């Protein structure tokens, strides 16, 4: 009961901080400088994108000066040699950075080369940048978030293991919170989908991916905007790991049912083999798209509803938008755990299919 009571003010605080971030740029007469809808759209896009600096919050002064509080991150490029410099040279993407006689500019959260200090990004008819793009190995905000989640998970499970060791196998402290979740993943996800004979081989990965997706989804709901799982590169990496584990742990029965199904006429085997082989690639692709699309759509809808408060600009419309955003914010907390659960269940299901033993007569 305490958790339910304490959840509401926390969620309310996060929403209020997000509202502050939507503050309109005004001139000396208190009128907005830009169209509100355009400004809200740009803010949503900025919230969803990765960045080369870790910005906690920002605001615009009465003189129109944009101030941001945070810290820069290292930019690592390969452009005819290694280029390492601080992202502060970009001044939050507003200026061109000069490094060893080369000039770089940030455009849509990506770094491109330009001709000089006043160089511009050249776009084609489809609004795609045509400038040369160096190889980018930078430590971005999403990378920092992944490192933070790694440290959080390491700390949690280290404390849990130490508590078990000191208390004769009894949970204490962090273990009391984690043990029911670990047992749920084992008893309700791993064993039913993989089987008692093989499930232990996959428990470490299933627990890792469950807690990782869950924690990064929760951080994505904060106003800081650390949205790791709405980056398709991250969901692709998670999906490809599941695919590789499934592929390399598949037994002979798994591959036999793909390339030469038992009990099926030979002409049908020839037709079904490429379809089944294609299915092995479609499964991780579905994992990747499902997680990416659900998290991204949830953030867009939530931020759009918050932005409606400033579009309506009256007590009725703004109050209804606030109420809807508040309810949706609580729902997103459920979605954060639900998407972690779905990704873990489907991964366990694929592992179970790979190691299933068939008795053919």
Range with the poorest average pLDDT among 57-71, 127-141, 154-168: 57-71
pLDDT score for 256? 84
The band of 26, judged by pLDDT with boundaries at 50, 70 and 90, is very low
- In this prediction the pTM is 0.81
Distance CA 312, CA 319 (A): 10
Closest of 56, 40, 58, 106 to residue 225, by C-alpha: 56
What digits encode the pLDDT tens for the residues 189-213? 999 999 898 999 999 999 999 999 9
- Calculate mean pLDDT across residues 52-58: 74
Distance CA 277, CA 289 (A): 19
What digits encode the pLDDT tens for the residues 226-264? 778 988 999 999 999 999 999 998 888 888 888 888 877
More confident residue, 40 or 300: 300
What digits encode the pLDDT tens for the residues 70-121? 788 899 999 888 999 988 888 877 888 888 888 999 888 889 998 888 888 8
SS3 97: strand
The band of 181, judged by pLDDT with boundaries at 50, 70 and 90, is very high
pLDDT score for 20? 39
DSSP track, 38-73: HHHHHHHHHHHS--SEEEEEEEE-TTS-EEEEEEE-
What digits encode the pLDDT tens for the residues 158-174? 888 888 888 877 777 77
First to last CA, the chain: 55
The band of 58, judged by pLDDT with boundaries at 50, 70 and 90, is low
Distance CA 260, CA 269 (A): 6
What digits encode the pLDDT tens for the residues 311-352? 777 777 778 888 888 888 888 889 999 999 999 999 999 999
Give the H or E element holding residue 351: helix 315-355
As a 3-state breakdown, the chain gives helix, strand, coil percent values, each rounded to 5, of 60, 10, 25
Angle, in degrees to the nearest 10, between helices 266-312 and 232-249 = 160
pLDDT score for 358? 65
Please return the burial class of 201, using the count of CB atoms within 10 Å of its CB with bins 0-12, 13-18 and 19+. middle
Distance CA 201, CA 190 (A): 10
Mean pLDDT of the chain: 81
pLDDT exceeds cutoff 70 at 129: yes
pLDDT exceeds cutoff 70 at 14: no
Find out whether 189 and 348 touch, Cβ atoms under 8 Å: yes
- Calculate mean pLDDT across residues 59-70: 70
pLDDT score for 7? 35
% of the chain with per-residue pLDDT over 90:
31
């Amino acid at each position: 009961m305490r958790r339910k009571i304490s959840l509401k003010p926390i969620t309310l605080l996060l929403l209020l901080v997000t509202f502050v971030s939507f503050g309109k740029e005004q001139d000396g007469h208190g009128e907005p400088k830009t169209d509100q809808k355009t400004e809200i759209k740009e803010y949503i896009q900025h919230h969803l994108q990765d960045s080369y600096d870790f910005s906690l919050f920002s605001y615009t002064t009465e003189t129109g000066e944009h101030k941001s509080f945070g810290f820069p991150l290292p930019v690592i490029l390969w452009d005819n040699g290694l280029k390492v410099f601080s992202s502060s040279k970009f001044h939050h993407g507003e200026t061109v950075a000069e490094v060893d006689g080369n000039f770089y500019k940030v455009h849509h959260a990506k770094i491109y080369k330009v001709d000089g200090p006043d160089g511009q990004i050249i776009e084609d008819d489809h609004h795609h940048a045509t400038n040369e793009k160096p190889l980018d190995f930078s430590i971005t905000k999403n990378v920092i978030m992944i490192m933070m989640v790694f440290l959080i998970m390491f700390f949690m499970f280290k404390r849990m293991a130490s508590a078990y060791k000191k208390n004769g196998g009894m949970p204490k402290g962090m273990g009391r919170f984690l043990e029911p979740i670990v047992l749920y993943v084992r008893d309700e996800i791993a064993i039913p989908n993989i089987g008692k004979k093989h499930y232990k081989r996959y428990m470490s990965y299933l627990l890792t991916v469950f807690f990782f997706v869950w924690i990064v989804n929760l951080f994505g709901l904060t106003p800081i905007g650390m949205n790791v799982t709405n980056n398709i590169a991250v969901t692709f990496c998670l999906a490809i790991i599941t695919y590789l584990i499934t592929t390399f742990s598949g037994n002979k029965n798994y591959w036999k049912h793909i390339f030469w199904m038992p009990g099926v006429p030979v002409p049908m085997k020839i037709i079904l083999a490429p379809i089944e082989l294609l299915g092995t690639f479609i499964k991780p692709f579905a994992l990747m798209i499902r997680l990416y699309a659900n998290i991204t759509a949830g953030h867009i809808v939530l931020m759009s509803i918050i932005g409606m408060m400033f579009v309506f600009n009256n007590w009725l419309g703004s109050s209804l938008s606030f109420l809807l955003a508040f309810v949706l914010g609580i729902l997103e907390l459920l979605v954060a755990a639900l998407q972690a659960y779905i990704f873990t269940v489907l991964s366990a299901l694929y592992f179970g299919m790979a190691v299933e033993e068939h008795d053919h007569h």
